Amino acid sequence: MLDADLTDAEIENICRGLKQNAAKVRFLRNMNLTVRVAADGRPLVNRKHYDGLKAEPDKSPSTEPAWTIPA
């Protein structure tokens, strides 16, 4: 059974390159994740919230040209 929160290894993978817990919290919050902070400062992210965020389609406008030919 999976934990309700992401593991420390999963958080490390998402925040690759960041060492300080405060920087990880800021990074995760900038991803529009709800982040709780443990007593020791570690970020805690709910697994269902993270998986739901990943499943959402990208809503940003496309930068590709429209290749349709007008009739």
pTM to 2 decimal places: 0.70
Q: What is the pLDDT of residue 59?
A: 60
pLDDT surpassing 60 at residue 10: yes
pLDDT of res. 8: 94
What digits encode the pLDDT tens for the residues 16-65?
999 999 999 999 999 999 999 999 999 999 998 888 876 655 566 667 77
Show Cβ contacts of residue 45 under 8 Å, excluding neighbours closer than 6 positions: 5, 6, 11, 28, 33, 34, 35, 36
62 CA to centre of own chain? 21
What pLDDT, on the 0 to 100 scale, is given for residue 58?
57
